Amino acid sequence: MNVENVLHERFGFAEFRPGQRETIESVLSGQHTLSMLPTGTGKSLCYQLPAYLLPGTVLIVSPLLSLMQDQTEQLKMRGEKRVIALNSFLQYEEKTAALANLNRYKFIFLSPEMLQLPQVIGALCPLTVSLFVVDEAHCISQWGYDFRPDYRLLGDVRHELGSPLTLALTATATEKVRQDIREGLHLPTVKEWVFSVNRPNIALQVETLQNQMDKHQRLIELVTFFKKPGIVYFSGRKATEEAVIQLKQAGIVRAAYYHGGMEASDRLLIQHQFLTGELDVVCATSAFGMGINKENIRFVIHYHMPPQMESYLQEIGRAGRDGNPSIAILLYAQGDESRHEFIAAMEFPDDGQIRQLTEYSVNPRDIQPPLSETQERFAVHYKQEANQKRLNAAVYMKERRNHLLTRKAEKRNEMLTWIFSSNCRRADYMHFFNEKPLKQPHCCDCCGIDLSIYKNKSVSRRSEEQLNWRNMLAQLLPGK
């Protein structure tokens, strides 16, 4: 069977999206492969399809439980039963049963933490691993925006598994990050496929508003004006819920919120309603969108700026997969960046927690105030690393924490520089990825765009005028 047949018969697609064929053929020819495919091009097909042409098992390392859940569900919906996710959600009995029967599965999804457990490695070793997939591979790099300390151990894990054929996937990685991926996974020779981060059918606009009240007003205007469906991103859970109330009051009733604090079943319901067109607008945190295969999203609005350019590009990339004109709007008000400063600080243990962990050797689970999942991951990893290196654990952990916080502040500043720039926005972000920018129509607010292209047909003349008037005002505000 050739790749086309599998694509048609297994997946029901008529053709490949850019980058998929190259990646798949590279893997099937037995080369270690690193592929950078822009969001919206369907990265998961790049390992799902070869799985049907290769003997043995495909292991997929994934950094997020929700992402893992989405991908296993997706495979199950296609009728694939030989799929399992090994993560901290599994009960002890379930895990033991799964580990005893791993050879029954074609697809095994794993969190990086699971790969640190000797019994998991022990159960994986006898299997024929035909492909080792590292999803969101930029997490391996300290230069990446989403560094995960446990990803750095994947090179050793690969070695323990007999150095199987490897596929590293990412949507956004600068050259420096790609180098870290190659080194981190111990891949001396690797075929690299790097596709443009540019999505020409998505117009970009940034608007500076004076305060949060103006932003709310503007959000309602934009959501009313634009052709739907669309997504509005927020940096906090509560804000998504408040926005839905306001949108509904303004007459946009087919709106719902989505965030990581909701029950899994409620999240699946919202995803499903959005996919089937029962909802026009989802107000969400960044938790929404990763597993969503929706072609016709017409707008993505950022009510709060994302913490870095890479997240921005991933999130706006959910618009316009069908190739039709779509728009991304970012609303900025002074001080918005401080939300991320606060969020970043919360990702790491504070000095008091570090002291309990090191000086008093308190069990990470018993520390007060309790460690979040991310904090615990950080603490356990670096305490262990300090011990291996025979360093003072408290000093080492603080030093690593401060390094990562500085890195996050730099990424935040890059994002702010982009927001305040008066250069072509597309050219600026392409430059960031060492790409040569191209002039194109309907580009960005700095090049000049006509918002009426993205207009919902039923919009009245008056609200269109109001929208444009506000738009002009936004351009005049300081910060532009």
Which segment (8-16, 281-289, 352-360, 447-455) binds Zn ion by CB under 5 A?
A: 447-455
Instruction: Tell me which H or E stretch contains 47.
Output: helix 45-51
Distance from C-alpha of 253 to C-alpha of 239, rounded to nearest angstrom: 17
Kindly state the smallest distance separating residue 444's Cβ from Zn ion, in Å.
4
Of 389, 366, 386, 369, the closest CA to residue 378 belongs to 386
Pick between residue 244 and residue 444 the one whose CB is nearest to Zn ion.
Answer: 444
Structural contact between residues 133 and 108, judged by C-beta atoms closer than 8 angstroms: no
Which segment (45-53, 276-284, 368-376, 418-426) binds Zn ion by CB under 5 A?
A: 418-426
Q: Exactly one of 106, 216, 302, 426 binds Zn ion (CB under 5 A); which one?
A: 426
CB atoms near residue 420 (< 10 Å): 12
Distance from C-alpha of 130 to C-alpha of 59, rounded to nearest angstrom: 8
Q: Which single residue is written with the structure tokens 């025979």?
A: 390
Structural contact between residues 33 and 49, judged by C-beta atoms closer than 8 angstroms: no
206 lies in the site for Zn ion, by CB under 5 A: no
Pick between residue 267 and residue 442 the one whose CB is nearest to Zn ion.
Answer: 442
Kindly state the smallest distance separating residue 202's Cβ from Zn ion, in Å.
12
Kindly state the smallest distance separating residue 458's Cβ from Zn ion, in Å.
29
447 lies in the site for Zn ion, by CB under 5 A: yes
Which segment (148-156, 257-265, 302-310, 436-444) binds Zn ion by CB under 5 A?
A: 436-444
Of 216, 232, 219, 352, the closest CA to residue 280 belongs to 232
Kindly state the smallest distance separating residue 413's Cβ from Zn ion, in Å.
21
444 lies in the site for Zn ion, by CB under 5 A: yes
Helix axes 461-476 and 212-225, enclosed angle (nearest 10)? 140
Across 245-310, where does the E strand assignment appear? 255-258, 281-284, 299-302
Pick between residue 253 and residue 438 the one whose CB is nearest to Zn ion.
Answer: 438
424 lies in the site for Zn ion, by CB under 5 A: yes
Pick between residue 377 and residue 426 the one whose CB is nearest to Zn ion.
Answer: 426
Alpha carbon 250 to chain centroid, angstroms? 31
Pairing of strands 33-36, 299-302: unpaired
Which segment (18-26, 118-126, 312-320, 425-433) binds Zn ion by CB under 5 A?
A: 425-433
Pick between residue 262 and residue 447 the one whose CB is nearest to Zn ion.
Answer: 447
Pick between residue 128 and residue 423 the one whose CB is nearest to Zn ion.
Answer: 423
Sequence-separated (6 or more) residues with CB below 8 Å from residue 338: none
Pick between residue 58 and residue 444 the one whose CB is nearest to Zn ion.
Answer: 444
Kindly state the smallest distance separating residue 334's Cβ from Zn ion, in Å.
24
Which segment (221-229, 279-287, 398-406, 438-446) binds Zn ion by CB under 5 A?
A: 438-446
Pick between residue 68 and residue 474 the one whose CB is nearest to Zn ion.
Answer: 474
Q: What is the phi/psi pair of residue 174, to 5°?
A: -70, 170
Q: Please give the size of the binding site for Zn ion, defined by CB under 5 A.
A: 5
Pick between residue 130 and residue 198 the one whose CB is nearest to Zn ion.
Answer: 198
Looking at residue 435, the DSSP 8-state letter turns out to be: -
443 lies in the site for Zn ion, by CB under 5 A: yes
The answer for 30, left when phi > 0, alpha when psi is -120 to 50, beta otherwise, is left
Kindly state the smallest distance separating residue 446's Cβ from Zn ion, in Å.
5
Which segment (5-13, 158-166, 352-360, 439-447) binds Zn ion by CB under 5 A?
A: 439-447
Distance from C-alpha of 17 to C-alpha of 326, rounded to nearest angstrom: 18
Residues of the shown chain interacting with Zn ion in the complex, contacts defined by CB under 5 A? 424, 426, 443-444, 447
